[in-house]
Amino acid sequence: MMELAKFRDLVFARGRQAGFTDMEIFHQSSTNLSVTVYKGTVDKYNLADSGGYGFRGIFRDRVGYAYTEILDHDSVEMLVTEALENAQVIESEDLPIIFSGSDSYPEFDGYNPDLAQVTPEEKIELAKTMEAKAYALDSRVMVVNSCLVASGEDYVQIENNKGLNLSHRGNGAYCYLSVVVREGDDTKTFGRFATARDFADLDANGLAREAVAEATGLLGAATVDSGDYPVILRWEAATTLLKTFSGLFSAENVQENISLLKGKLGQQIATPAITIVDDPLLPQGLSSSPFDAEGVASRSKVVVDQGKLSTYLHNLKTAAKDGVESTGNAAKGSYKSNVVVAPTNMYIKPGSASLDDMAASLERGIIVVDLQGAHSGANPVSGDFSLGAFGYLVEKGKIVRPVNQITIAGNFISMLLDVEKVGNDLNFGLPTGSMIGSPSLLIKKLAVAGK
């Protein structure tokens, strides 16, 4: 393997020879250690150390991409010839942009040196504590089917021949616990995770308590009669929906005419209780960064302001097309990916209602804890969803029993206009590059299918 600087020089020289004018290398590397404990022993211990190099170059106003995971002479040739071949078949009329840089960049420190000092033994200890706690809490815990503690570091560097050279390093830790509980023939399961940049913030006991309480709370769940119900989407379910439909805010989708928010800028698309923020500098965000995947400076922005759609999310290409500034939402899933538009850390701002307040206001309704199958049961283009759900039945303001084997159906856009209360319990879903979050939401009515 050769050094990245030498590799970059060779690629740019070979690229220029091949006819590329603008060229960029997007380098990403990561290390990760995860431990999984099963019945008191370390069941899985995984170490990762990997990275890769994405090349893109502009050839006659067309952009071609290629990537490699190995820095050798073969890869120099492969990157340039493949990217050239890819550029030559591109027919997109959008002018690609390789960026020379923003005027200034915000400060963001996503790296906690103390976290790097946490030993594997400490992680194993935490996982064992979490597992033991879960078993100790309730005799109905049949098995802790997943108990994991992990931490990792990421490094991103963007370097191009327009003078841009940016890098960012971040780290984070997370843990996940899932329990299977059984009573008679009835089996229920629930999982909980937590992320942190300070190892001491991972609350293993709290996680175990929540997972066990929820799983046992769901024992004895049964379906309900089909019909329209007021529904409290607990933060997990609300987050699942926001994540599923976050593509509606992408200018790329708007320009391709596959977003229902096309032509809705400045209009009321949600009740005034709803404000949606996209904040790439969210302190606890594991992928928070001072710049986006094109090297544009990050900034926080309000996407929906008290129900009014105030902006779409843009990268350089979509912004140029609309004659606006990029919002710093260029994203690459990895060095293998093309530049697209994606939310960074997007969340619905919390309101004042507690979950109990919301439940107390219901004569008869359903609290949906989480939704299943969002990748298939939701149509990100039409906004329609019909998803498996579980949770609790509320009568006269009180939870009366757990509910499962139901589906909740509606349309995301019309649902935003039907939000009656916004909870005070903002939380974020499992990070997958972006972190999406929401408080619990009380929806006037949704179609529930049961029996």
Partner 1 sequence: MAALDAGGDFAELFVEDKHNSHLNMISGRVETGTSGRDFGAGIRIFGGYNSVYAYTNHTDRDNLVKLAREAGAALAGAKGGKVQDLQVHSKANAHPISIYPESKDKRFRVGLMRQANETAMGFDPLIEQVRIRFIDENQKVLIANTEGVFAQDNRVRTRMSIEAIAARGSEKQSGFYGPGAHMGLEFYDKIDIREYAREAARSAVTMINAEPCPSGQFPVIIDNEFGGVIFHEACGHSLEATSVAKKTSVFADKLGERIASELVTAYDDGTIANAWGSANIDDEGTPTQRTLLIDKGILKGYMVDKLNGRRMDMPSTGSGRRQSYKFAPTSRMSNTFIDGGASTPQEIIENTEYGIYARYMGGGSVNPATGDFNFAVKEGYIVKDGKIQEPVRGATLIGRGSEILKKIDMVGNNLALGQGMCGSASGSIPANVGQPMIRVSEITVGGRKGK
Site for partner 1 in 94-123 (CB under 8 A): 120
Minimum CB separation of residue 361 from partner 1 in Å reads 24
In the bound state with partner 1, the residue whose beta carbon lies nearer, of 96 and 172, is: 96
Tokens for 426? 């903002």
In the bound state with partner 1, the residue whose beta carbon lies nearer, of 143 and 194, is: 143
Minimum CB separation of residue 384 from partner 1 in Å reads 6
5 interacts with partner 1 by CB under 8 A: no
372 interacts with partner 1 by CB under 8 A: yes
In the bound state with partner 1, the residue whose beta carbon lies nearer, of 94 and 357, is: 94
Q: DSSP assignment of 91-146, as one string?
A: ---SPP------S------B--HHHHT--HHHHHHHHHHHHHHHHHH-TTEEEEEE
Stretch touching partner 1 by CB under 8 A, among 14-22, 75-83, 230-238, 429-437: 75-83
Binding residues among 158-177 for partner 1 as defined by CB under 8 A: none
What distance in Å separates the CA atoms of residue 359 and residue 17, rounded to the nearest whole number? Answer: 67
What distance in Å separates the CA atoms of residue 145 and residue 38, rounded to the nearest whole number? Answer: 8
Stretch touching partner 1 by CB under 8 A, among 85-93, 197-205, 302-310, 426-434: 85-93
Binding residues among 218-247 for partner 1 as defined by CB under 8 A: 223, 226-228
Q: For partner 1, which residue of 152, 373, 397, 431 counts as binding (CB under 8 A)?
A: 373
In the bound state with partner 1, the residue whose beta carbon lies nearer, of 276 and 371, is: 371
Stretch touching partner 1 by CB under 8 A, among 98-106, 288-296, 356-364, 367-375: 367-375
Instruction: Provide the 3-class DSSP secondary structure of residue 324.
Output: coil
DSSP letter at 350 equals P
152 interacts with partner 1 by CB under 8 A: no
Stretch touching partner 1 by CB under 8 A, among 46-54, 111-119, 230-238, 293-301: 46-54
88 interacts with partner 1 by CB under 8 A: yes
49 interacts with partner 1 by CB under 8 A: yes
Binding residues among 267-296 for partner 1 as defined by CB under 8 A: none
Q: For partner 1, which residue of 10, 11, 231, 260 counts as binding (CB under 8 A)?
A: 260
Name beta bridge partners: 29.
51, 155
Binding residues among 397-426 for partner 1 as defined by CB under 8 A: 404-410
Q: Give 271-274 contacts, CB < 8 A, sequence gap 24+.
A: 271/307, 271/416, 271/417, 271/418, 271/419, 271/420, 272/306, 272/307, 273/306, 273/307, 273/351, 273/419, 273/420, 273/421, 273/422, 274/304, 274/306, 274/307, 274/348, 274/416, 274/419, 274/422
Cα 329–330–336 angle (5° rounding)? 145
Instruction: Provide the 3-class DSSP secondary structure of residue 3.
Output: coil
What distance in Å separates the CA atoms of residue 57 and residue 61, rounded to the nearest whole number? Answer: 10
Binding residues among 325-344 for partner 1 as defined by CB under 8 A: 336-338
